[in-house]
């Protein structure tokens, strides 16, 4: 009986042990944007939860003014501020990973952004640690003001980074189109030399495609200018970002036109005079 029982217990414990073994395998996955983004979403949900708890504790304290409600308010405010630091830190990390994975951003641009984002991440990490020394509600209110002030400048970096990510995408598309134009130019030159087909129409389409690339570049530059002008005192920074995004959409439209012109060039090459 004892042997059966011990065998049964071993089997049971093995089946329990087997399940957690699969977890480290999943955790061993490399840290990329997708993972950083999921971390950020998780922390954001946690922050929303702790914020509502802070509101409830604050209301209770303001209504009853008891020692218990004050202790509760202190505890919940501390947690909410810590989660706030954590959510910003995770969001900035996700942005950093997105910058790393976006093709079209130059190495110089990437390095500058990494440096700025890392500095911000360090600030929020240190701020979170400093919260442990807060003993009163007044300390926490002062700490909260500090984050609010800091976030004014962080927001600028956020919008500029987002703009750089979108610009990077545009640059990548434009580079690809430019490469195709060069290839087609070579082919058209070859056809012209053979003299068995009129290439003037194809050359005109190519010229138009090149013009669209220039216009797209101009629009992208305009977007970057808008983002560069954002100040920490601006109350509505997202408005400037939306304007920049609109300019980038216009830039993209020119790229689409350039692509359609390339299709025209190819159709023209394939058709007899």
What is the binding site for another protein (CB under 8 A)?
Answer: 5, 8-9, 12, 37, 40, 44, 47, 51, 58, 61-62, 73, 77, 81, 84, 87-88, 91, 94-95, 98, 137, 140-141, 144-145, 147-148, 151, 155, 158-159, 162, 165-166, 169, 173, 176-177, 180, 183-184, 187, 191, 196-197, 245, 248-249, 252, 255-256, 259-260, 262-263, 266-267, 269-273
Distance CA 207, CA 120 (A): 45
Helical (H) or strand (E) element with 227: helix 200-228
Looking at the Cβ atoms of 63 and 107, the one nearer to another protein is: 63
Closest separation in Å from C-beta 47 to another protein: 8
Select 11 or 26, whichever has its Cβ closest to another protein: 11
Enter the DSSP assignment of 234. Answer: -
For the CB of residue 81, give the shortest distance to another protein in the complex, in Å. Answer: 8
In the complex, least distance from residue 96 CB atom to another protein, rounded to whole angstroms: 12
Q: How far is CA 245 from the centre of its chain?
A: 14
DSSP 121-148: HHHHHHHHHHGGG--SHHHHHHHHHHHH
Min. distance of Cβ 61 from another protein in angstroms? Answer: 7
Give which of 127, 266, 130 is closest to 206, Cα–Cα: 266
Angle between helices 137-194 and 107-130 (to 10 degrees): 170
State the minimum distance, in angstroms, from the CB of residue 68 to another protein. Answer: 15
Structure token pair of residue 114: 């990494």
Tokens matching residue 143? 């700490």
**Residue with Cβ nearer another protein (27 or 150):** 150
DSSP conformation letters of 55-114: HHHHHHHHHH--HHHHHHHHHHHHHHHHHHHHHHHHHHHHHHHHHHH-TT--HHHHHHHH
Quick one: 121 or 158, whose CB is closer to another protein?
A: 158
- CB nearer to another protein: give 81 or 121: 81
CB-nearer residue toward another protein: 28 or 67: 67
Q: What's the closest the beta carbon of residue 21 comes to another protein, in angstroms?
A: 22
């Amino acid at each position: 009986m004892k042997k059966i029982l011990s065998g049964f217990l071993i089997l049971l414990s093995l089946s329990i042990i087997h399940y957690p073994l699969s977890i480290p395998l999943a955790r061993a996955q490399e840290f990329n944007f997708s993972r950083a983004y999921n971390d950020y979403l998780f922390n954001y949900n946690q922050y929303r939860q702790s914020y509502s708890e802070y509101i409830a504790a604050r209301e209770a304290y303001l209504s009853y003014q008891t020692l218990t409600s004050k202790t509760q308010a202190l505890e919940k405010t501390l947690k909410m501020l810590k989660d706030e630091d954590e959510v910003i830190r995770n969001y900035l990390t996700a942005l950093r990973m997105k910058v790393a994975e976006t093709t079209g951003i130059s190495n110089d641009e990437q390095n500058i952004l990494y440096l700025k984002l890392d500095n911000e991440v360090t600030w929020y990490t240190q701020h979170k640690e400093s919260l442990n020394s807060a003993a009163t509600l007044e300390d926490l209110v002062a700490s909260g003001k500090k984050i609010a002030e800091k976030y004014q400048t962080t927001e600028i970096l956020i919008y500029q980074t987002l703009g750089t990510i979108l610009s990077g995408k545009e640059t990548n598309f434009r580079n690809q189109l430019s490469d195709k134009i060069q290839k087609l130019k070579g082919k058209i030159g070859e056809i012209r030399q053979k003299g068995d087909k009129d290439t003037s129409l194809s050359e005109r389409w190519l010229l138009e495609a090149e013009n669209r690339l220039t216009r797209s570049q101009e629009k992208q530059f305009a977007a970057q200018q808008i983002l560069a002008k954002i100040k920490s005192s601006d109350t509505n920074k997202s408005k400037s970002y939306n304007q920049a995004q609109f300019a980038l959409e216009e830039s993209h439209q020119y790229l689409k036109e350039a692509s359609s012109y390339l299709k025209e060039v190819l159709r023209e090459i394939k058709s007899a005079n």
